[in-house]
């Protein structure tokens, strides 16, 4: 009893269906990381740090100093606003 359940036609249909699924999977695979969902826009802020970019070449330390100085200036403005509110 080595016959296939459903007969030879069913076996051929199963094989054809499996081959079609494999073809669809190969055709539907994304060709880029962005299409695969693993990446974002190609023109982000991170483009600054890549060697191949057309954008600015900025050291990460400079970005850190600028960010901290911006935060410090906002805090300083808040303190000045509080002090001037008490005197005027």
Sequence spans of domains, the chain: 1-40, 41-88
Q: Contact 18/25 with Cβ under 8 angstroms?
A: no
Please state, in angstroms and rounded to a whole number, the distance separating the CA atoms of residues 51 and 58. 11
> pLDDT tens-digit profile of 25-66?
777 766 666 565 555 555 666 565 556 666 777 899 999 999
Q: What is the DSSP string of 9-33?
A: HHHHHHHHHHHHHHHHHHHHS-SSH
> pLDDT tens-digit profile of 2-21?
666 677 777 788 888 888 88
Provide the whole-model pTM. 0.39
- Identify the residue whose tokens are 């057309």: 54
Q: How far is CA 61 from CA 33, 37, 51, 66, in A?
A: 29, 30, 17, 9
């Amino acid at each position: 009893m080595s016959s296939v359940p459903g007969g030879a036609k069913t076996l051929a249909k199963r094989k054809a269906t499996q081959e079609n699924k494999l073809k669809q999977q190969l055709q539907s695979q994304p060709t880029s990381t962005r299409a695969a969902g693993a990446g974002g826009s190609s023109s982000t802020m991170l483009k600054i740090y890549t060697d191949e970019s057309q954008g600015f070449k900025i050291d990460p330390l400079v970005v850190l100093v600028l960010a901290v100085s911006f935060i410090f200036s906002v805090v300083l403005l808040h303190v000045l606003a509080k002090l001037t509110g008490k005197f005027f």
